[in-house]
Amino acid sequence: MYMIKKFLFLALICSQAMAQPSTKSTKSIKQINDLMSSGSLDFVSDKKKAIQSFTAVLQLDPKNIKAYYLRGQCFYGLNQPVLALDDFDSVISINPDYSRAYAMRGTILLDLRQFFLALDQFNLAIKIDSLNDGFYFSRGRVQFLIGNYYKAINDFNTALSLKNNDRELYFMKGQSHLFVGDYQKALANFEISKFLGKEDKDLYYYMGYTKMLQNDLDEAMKDLDIAIALDEKFPPAYFYKAFIYLQKLDYQNSILFYDKGLALDSRVAAAYYNRGLAYLNLKNENEAQFNFSKAIEVDSLFADAYYQRAFIWDSNKDYPSALNDFNTYLRFNPKDTSALYARGRIKVMMIDPVGACQDFTLAASSGSLLAKNAMKEVCESKPGKKK
């Protein structure tokens, strides 16, 4: 019975349209409404089908803002950012005050890591709608990612004042406080994020990292253990456990956890360097040298690895290699008195008193007593020097 009535109803509309041409727009409106309803229903479950409905709407009504906006969101959900941006551009061209279209453009540009362009879009969205907490949250994320931590905190606070209670907001606010050195506020925000339901490796990792910076090493270890329990393949948690053991002078356990972390991520120069320090403290120069060399292999600008390796070359009486490493290190740190003094000693061993004198003189001018004594001995005994 329902289908018969519906058929009669449609037939009546058709007969009326034939008799009265002015009712054609009424039919189009109904068709558009039906398509919008269909597209909206498919929006969550079948975005491709929803796009077909919204495209049909736009063929009937090329200036339908809602159709452009929803189709743009579908394209975004299907990871087609260029098509999504085109649709949000169309929304803005029809209505320049459509704040959510700017926000969606900002979200896409943020995903594409075009941070400053994203920031411009969120600024425009907020200019139009200054009471939307989501816009401030999103702009805060961009500020965080470009290193403007204080501005990020301001935006997160504004979002909170507008009743945003998102656990990720508290988490990112905590990270922002962490990176400006306010560890107490960082932990307070992490705790709120945890209370609101965030229970993942990232939260516990950052809580552990923050506590480590506060020198609360045992509590930091507990959080890092939870991070590892939540994800056994999370290298940063292993690296910081290893670093804590290094600070505790437990070199064997430090090496053990650096081994585990490097097995998961072998491209972390600092991990090799710190493992090298652990081996060096265990008097294992061969393994220490290997690790310093791996650190340099991963990051050729890792100055401290050259410095430590140079002393091992020196210990093994490989003076040319030691000299090369000190030369490299001093290009990064030309005023390091300990390195200047050490290089001067190498030059003495290589029978280069003039070069040694230059290094000792530079180190002595910065207050090195060892260099001052060496300068007197070497510089005053240069060939041709009258006593």
Digits of tens for pLDDT over the chain (387 positions)? 333 333 222 232 233 333 334 444 677 888 899 899 998 998 889 999 999 999 999 999 999 999 999 999 999 999 999 999 999 999 999 999 999 999 999 999 999 999 999 999 999 999 999 999 999 999 999 999 999 999 999 999 999 999 999 999 999 999 999 999 999 999 999 999 999 999 999 999 999 999 999 999 999 999 999 999 999 999 999 999 999 999 999 999 999 999 999 999 999 999 999 999 999 999 999 999 999 999 999 999 999 999 999 999 999 999 999 999 999 999 999 999 999 999 999 999 999 999 999 999 999 998 889 989 998 888 876 554 443
CA nearest neighbour of 271 among 245, 248, 232, 310: 245
Query: For position 39, what pLDDT does the model report?
Result: 86
Count how many domains the chain has.
Answer: 1
Q: Are the CB atoms for 34 and 57 separated by under 8 Å?
A: no
Place of tokens 């905190």: 153
Do the domain assignments include residue 342? no
In the chain, % helix, strand, coil (3-state, to 5) comes to 80, 0, 20
Q: Are the CB atoms for 333 and 303 separated by under 8 Å?
A: yes
3-state secondary structure 48-75: HHHHHHHHHHHHHCCCCHHHHHHHHHHH
Task: Provide the 10 A C-beta neighbour count for residue 30.
Answer: 12
Q: In whole angstroms, how far apart are CA 280 and each of 120, 269, 308, 330?
A: 51, 16, 9, 22
Contacts of 182 (CB under 8 A, 6+ apart): none
Structural domain of 155: 105-164
Do the domain assignments include residue 35? no
List the structure tokens of 95.
Answer: 């209505």
Query: For position 28, what pLDDT does the model report?
Result: 86
Do the domain assignments include residue 151? yes
Do the domain assignments include residue 278? no
Specify the amino acid at residue 151: K
Model pTM score: 0.84
Write the CATH number for 140. Answer: 1.25.40.10
Q: How many CA atoms lie within 13 A of 215 on its CB side?
A: 0
Do the domain assignments include residue 129? yes
Q: Are the CB atoms for 89 and 70 separated by under 8 Å?
A: no
Contacts of 115 (CB under 8 A, 6+ apart): 109, 142, 145, 146
Do the domain assignments include residue 158? yes
Query: For position 5, what pLDDT does the model report?
Result: 36
CA nearest neighbour of 30 among 17, 49, 47: 17
Do the domain assignments include residue 276? no
Give the DSSP H/E element, type plus range, for residue 9.
Answer: helix 2-19
Task: Provide the 10 A C-beta neighbour count for residue 150.
Answer: 11
Do the domain assignments include residue 138? yes
Q: Are the CB atoms for 258 and 274 separated by under 8 Å?
A: yes
